[in-house]
Amino acid sequence: MLRLRDGDDGAFAELVQRNTPKVHGLVFRFLGDPQAVDDLTQEVFLRIYRTAGRYQPAAKFSTWMYRIVANLAFNVLRTRRKGHAVPLEVSDTRDGETFFADVRDDKTHAPHQRLADDELQAQVARAVAELPENQKIAIVLNKYEDKSYEDIAEVLDCTVMAVKSLLSRARENLRVSLEKYIEHK
Would you say 73 and 30 are in contact if contact means Cβ atoms under 8 Å apart? yes
What confidence score (pLDDT) does residue 128 get?
A: 85
What confidence score (pLDDT) does residue 36 get?
A: 84
Q: Helix, strand, or coil here: 116?
A: coil
In degrees rounded to 5, what are phi and psi of residue 99? -140, 170
What confidence score (pLDDT) does residue 13 get?
A: 92
What confidence score (pLDDT) does residue 166 get?
A: 93
Nearest to 145 by CA among 6, 28, 11: 28
pTM to 2 decimal places: 0.60
DSSP per-residue letters across 33-100: -HHHHHHHHHHHHHHHHHHGGG---SS-HHHHHHHHHHHHHHHHHHHHHH-----SEEE-TTT--EEE
Residues of the chain falling short of pLDDT 70: 81-118, 183-185
| Residue 73 to residue 28: CA distance in whole angstroms | 10
What confidence score (pLDDT) does residue 113 get?
A: 40
Report the 10 Å Cβ neighbour count for 48: 21
Would you say 70 and 137 are in contact if contact means Cβ atoms under 8 Å apart? yes
Structural domains for the chain: 2-82 (1.10.1740.10), 115-180 (1.10.10.10)
| Residue 66 to residue 17: CA distance in whole angstroms | 16
| Residue 85 to residue 63: CA distance in whole angstroms | 36
